[in-house]
Amino acid sequence: MYFDELNEQVGVAVKNALQDAKETTSENIGLDARASKKLYIGDDFIAVKKSNDGTLKYYGGFEYISQDCRSEIGDYVFYYGDDSRVQDCISRFENAEA
């Protein structure tokens, strides 16, 4: 029972983290269209559903991102802007929106 509650709390925390993030596609951040049809861009992260992480790694080159800049939380994988590739994608998205 404890793990059900913990999993629910994690889900709520992830939902809160993604609440202010903007939804986009891999093409909008300069990646191959096959990388992911749905990504979430925050101030200092890119998030993707775990089920789409493999294509993001393969077609988007995220396999080269340091494990220190990647976390699996709930049903999502978060890539942090501390990595230059992630930061470049975030910057492209911000510039396209401006």
CA distances from 47 to 2, 3, 33 (A): 27, 24, 16
Task: Give the model's pLDDT for residue 21.
Answer: 95
Two structure tokens written together for 82: 């501390």
30-63 in b/e form (b: 16+ CB < 10 A) is ebeeebbeebbbbeebbbbeeebbebbbebbebe
| Residue 71 CB-half CA count within 13 A | 9
The domain locations on the chain are: 2-97
pTM: 0.92
What is the model's pLDDT at position 2? 81
Q: What is the pLDDT of residues 37-82, one digit of tens each?
A: 999 999 899 999 999 999 999 999 999 999 999 999 999 999 999 9
State the pLDDT confidence band at 1, using cuts at 50, 70 and 90: low
pLDDT score of 90: 96
pLDDT at residue number 97: 78
pLDDT digits (tens, 9 = 90+) for 6-41: 889 999 999 999 999 999 999 999 999 999 999 999
Per-residue confidence (pLDDT) for residue 98, from 0 to 100? 67
